[in-house]
Structure 1
Amino acid sequence: MTEEQMNVTVICGSLRKESYNRKLLDLMKAEFPEHWEVEEAFLHHIPLYHADVEEAGTPEAVVELKRAMMRADGVIIVTPEYNNGMPGVVKNALDWASSPPAHSALTHRAFALAGATPGGGGTALSQYQIRQTLTAAEAYVMPGPKMLVAKVAGKMNKELGTLEDEKTTQHAKKFVQAFNSWMHRFDG
């Protein structure tokens, strides 16, 4: 039996080109099923949320972000943790995506959260804050399995600059399979 095509938007919450979270996203992409049509939404050019700017006309970078989310059956956010919280660029993107509330790109959409950090917490606090924001916007956030990659620097292939860890790879596979099932809960 072949799976029905699913549209998935991925977002990396780090702007750094060679970030650990970019590496985690790359590792996860290798586990994405063939029936996923994947689009990446970038946060680089999204201005700070400002209601006056929105009233004057939604910036094109925000329009692109919202379109990518609206086309998606599900969204995966792979994010670092800064000072025990979510990165400002992620919060800013979610604020834009949820406004105005009548046209929120978050409401009733499936989400999954993942993250990597050199520290021991694996982005648990960052993901907790993102989960709060998404829940407030009535998004459907996958409860588990959680993808919390701690001490990621020790899991890197220094020569290739890639994340290469068998346990992380196996967990990514379970995470992706679980998200595929999670999205199907809301596609009817």
Structure 2
Amino acid sequence: MTKNIKIIGISGSLRQNSYNTATLHAAASLLPESATLEIVDLSGIPIFNEDDEAKGVPQVVIDFKEKLAKADAILIATPEYNYSIPPVIKNALDWASRGNDLPLKGKPLAMVTASLGMLSGGYVQHHLRRVCAKLEMKTVNKRQVLITNASKKFSPDSKLIDELAKKSLSNLMGELVDKTNAIMSAKAEGF
């Protein structure tokens, strides 16, 4: 079964010229024609607070969860902050985990990290895998995809120019699309 796969892309950086947001744009350009990627802006999502939630879930969170629910798969591109998950990603995942509607449950997930350093990215992906496993997401990439020394791998206008990084990202996108197709086929057959 092949259908047009809708992927939601989430950046763990709010910075205007973020290498991780640029990575999402690169990923969109590397997708097969049977898939699309929409990048969701997390900047308007308030910090999670149960007191605020009790007063009513903010509309921006409702909209975010609806986009996640309509997606077939999720791609997270994130930097590593102090060996862990940036607050903007963790906050968005916390909001998405609340309530009876769990839009991430069973969704295929791929992750990638772009960083300025040589070694950055492994810890954040490890921590994200643990959080996303709790959310019952299906992580597809067994190997970590890390775009290190990002300032040398992107052009001044934020285009991914490193061929090895493009190949790794393209392989990741292929893996995400294949896993998503397999999950959708299994669901269609009643599994």
Counterpart of 2:132 (choices 131, 134, 142) is 134
Counterpart of 2:160 (choices 160, 163, 168) is 163
Letter matched to residue 116 of structure 2: P
Shift of 1:145: 4.2
Larger deviation: 138-147 or 60-69? 138-147
> Aligned ranges for residues 70-109 of structure 1 at < 5 Å?
70-100=69-99, 102-109=100-107
Shift of 1:37: 3.3
| Maintained 8 Å contact 1:79/1:114 | yes
Aligned to 2:182: 185
> Equivalents in 2 of 1:155, 1:77: separation in Å?
19
Aligned to 1:62: 61
Count of aligned pairs between the two proteins: 185
Letter matched to residue 171 of structure 1: S
Letter matched to residue 92 of structure 2: A
Q: Normalising to structure 2: TM-score of the pair? A: 0.91
Aligned to 2:4: 5
> Equivalents in 2 of 1:37, 1:143: separation in Å?
19
Q: Secondary structure at the match of 1:186?
A: helix
Q: Secondary structure at the match of 1:76?
A: strand
Aligned to 1:125: 123
Question: 2:15 matched to 1:16?
Answer: yes
Letter matched to residue 130 of structure 2: Q
Letter matched to residue 29 of structure 1: A
CA offsets per residue over residues 3-42 of structure 1, 9 Å max, x none? 4211111111110111111121122111012221332221
Shift of 1:62: 0.8
> Aligned ranges for residues 39-54 of structure 1 at < 5 Å?
39-54=38-53
Q: Secondary structure at the match of 1:37?
A: strand
Shift of 1:185: 2.5
Q: Secondary structure at the match of 2:30?
A: coil
Q: Secondary structure at the match of 1:113?
A: strand
Cα distance change on mapping 1:3 and 1:145 into 2, 3 Å: farther
Aligned to 1:115: 113
Aligned residues with identical type, % of pairs: 28
RMSD: 1.5
| Maintained 8 Å contact 1:77/1:114 | yes
Q: Normalising to structure 1: TM-score of the pair? A: 0.92
CA offsets per residue over residues 106-155 of structure 1, 9 Å max, x none? 21111111110011224111111111111011111113343211111121
The 4+ residue runs of structure 1 with deviation greater than 6 A are none
